[in-house]
Amino acid sequence: MDYYRQFKVQPGTKVRLDKVDADYKGKHDSYATAQPEIEKHCQKLRELQYRLYAEGKRSLLVCLQAMDAGGKDGTVNHVLSAMNPQGCSVHGFKQPSAEEAAHDFLWRIHKACPRKGQVAIFNRSHYEDVLVVRVHGLVPKKVWTHRYGQINAFERHLAENGSHILKIYLHISKEEQLERFKQRIDDPARHWKISEGDYAERPYWDDYRKAFEAALSRCSTIHAPWFVVPANHKWFRNLAVSQIMAKALERMHAEFPEPTVDMAEIKKKYHAAKDAAQARRK
């Protein structure tokens, strides 16, 4: 199945998250049946990222957004396991520091964007400034409504300068979120993930849903599309995200650069060195 096409938010369409089945699993019914396909896409990711890194002319930016416990960290781990860390970076965006807050809201984002040949993954992103600030009224409505256009212009600027942009919303249900909170309580290895904010934000679920719907609807463009990935099943989330990223890299058609040396001459030197080594062993 082509999840790139299926989950892509077409520009100009209105997103209704309550109409999206967070339990969707495609043609698979378990991780066991999906695992070979997941590995296939991960292998393709490795190969295509290597080409992008070698070419050194363009970059890939992946923005991950979700409700609390939506699986952003798990998705980052999955994607990184398929890539060479030398060509990949991860950035998390939480409450702005004093220095960041003293600049425009995109200043800290632009600094973290990938350089040529690199893949950057944003765990949360510039969209926090039309999500949290909207839900909690941290800035006036006339300020955050103006930001949709600023975000679109910013992403267009990145795209025109060689960055391919993917924005992925990991869609979980309210019931699944509560179950994941319970897992954090029951598992001592996950206690560090628990925060007061987790439960404090749950009463705002519908407000966040509307804020996400507005961002997804107003900011999915040809050059920077949004994807809504059903994420109640972590293995399906990994399957869909790895396929979407592989498809995006494939569409970039990255090419290995031409060698900077005379390969015929290099081969001669190699064979001469090999013959000399063999002669010494005799």
Confidence at residue 191, expressed as pLDDT on a 0 to 100 scale: 82
pLDDT (tens digit, 9 = 90+) per residue, 209-241?
999 999 999 999 999 999 999 999 999 999 999
pLDDT level of residue 200 (50, 70, 90 thresholds): confident
Instruction: Output the CA–CA distances (angstroms, integers) from residue 206 to 23, 102, 194, 196, in the order listed.
Output: 19, 31, 22, 19
- The set of long-range contacts for 26-35, using a CB threshold of 8 Å and a minimum separation of 24, is 26/1, 26/236, 26/239, 26/240, 27/1, 28/236, 28/239, 30/235, 31/235, 34/235, 34/236, 34/239, 35/235
Looking at the predicted structure, is the pLDDT value of residue 83 above 80? yes
What are the structure tokens assigned to 234, written together? 């972590």
Q: What average pLDDT score do residues 178-188 get? A: 90
Q: Hey, what are 69's tokens?
A: 């416990």
Q: Residue 119's pLDDT is what?
A: 97
pLDDT of residue 261: 83
With CA atoms as reference, report the closest residue to 131 among 70, 214, 231, 200.
Answer: 214
Helix (H, G, I), strand (E, B) or coil at 186: helix
Place 265 in a pLDDT band, splitting at 50, 70 and 90.
confident
Domains of the chain: 3-281 (3.40.50.300)
pTM (whole model) above 0.85: yes
- What one-letter code names the amino acid at 248? A
User: Are the beta carbons of 156 and 222 closer than 8 angstroms?
Assistant: no
Q: Check pLDDT > 90 for residue 192.
A: no
Q: What is the pLDDT of residue 240?
A: 97
